[in-house]
Amino acid sequence: MKLFNKTPKEKKSISLTLDLNTRLPEKISVQIEGLAEHAEALAALAEPNPNHDYGKSELIDHHLIDRRIYQYHYTNEPVELLSDTEDGPLNVIVNGQKIGCLSEKNSAALRVLKADGRIKSFDLSLGGGRYKCVISSFSPSEGTTYEYEKNTADFYGTLTIGLHKYGV
């Protein structure tokens, strides 16, 4: 059963407990579950991040400090939310690849929002894996210093849903 097929757009974060008689925020965000089980699908969406090739001094020269520079960028559209059953969890499909699912509670809430005509857009944020980071700090005696870090982070996925304030 195909439930949604929209292109991404905007952001915000709340609990998905719904009262459709009240004005909803412009955006809500939900976490995607099960990303680790779909590593092959995520790999199919990966594109090399050219900034990850930089060393410490190049990251500093390009003002890429105090943030993680992941080895890959991930394709994040088109996004589809599909379910195998009428009330089961919604699977998150990106560019034809299942990457995870939404919790049953969030899936139920999104079905209510869809039925009420509240959903206007999706924005998907994917990340994780190997990264580099230059961390800056300042002290009056030493000035600005930089620490270089290489590490790996768990994969994450956040689906942000743009909402109409009132049903359409």
68 within domain boundaries: yes
pLDDT tens-digit series, residues 33-78: 999 999 999 999 999 999 999 999 999 999 999 999 999 999 888 9
Does 47 reside within a domain?
Answer: yes
Tens of pLDDT, residue by residue over 68-108, are 999 999 988 899 999 988 889 999 999 999 999 999 999 99
Listed in sequence order, the residues at least 6 apart from 82 whose beta carbon sits closer than 8 Å to its beta carbon are 1, 2, 3, 90, 91, 93
The pLDDT of residue 25:
86
Q: Which amino acid is at 32?
A: I
DSSP 33: B
In angstroms, the CA 113 to CA 50 distance is: 39
Q: Give the chain's end-to-end CA distance (angstroms, integer).
A: 23
- State which residues form the domain around 7: 2-15+26-163
Does residue 20 fall inside a structural domain?
A: no
Question: For the chain, what is the domain count?
Answer: 1
C-alpha to C-alpha distance for 42 and 35, rounded to whole angstroms: 8
Helix (H) or strand (E) holding 39: helix 39-45
Q: State the pLDDT at residue 11.
A: 35
For residues 25 and 160, is the Cβ–Cβ distance under 8 A? no
Across residues 156-162, what is the average pLDDT?
Answer: 94
- Residue 94 falls inside a structural domain: yes
Length of the chain: 168
Cα radius of gyration (the chain): 19
pLDDT of residue 21: 63
Residue 8 lies in a domain: yes
Please report whether residue 80 resides in a domain.
yes
Assigned domain for 168 exists: no
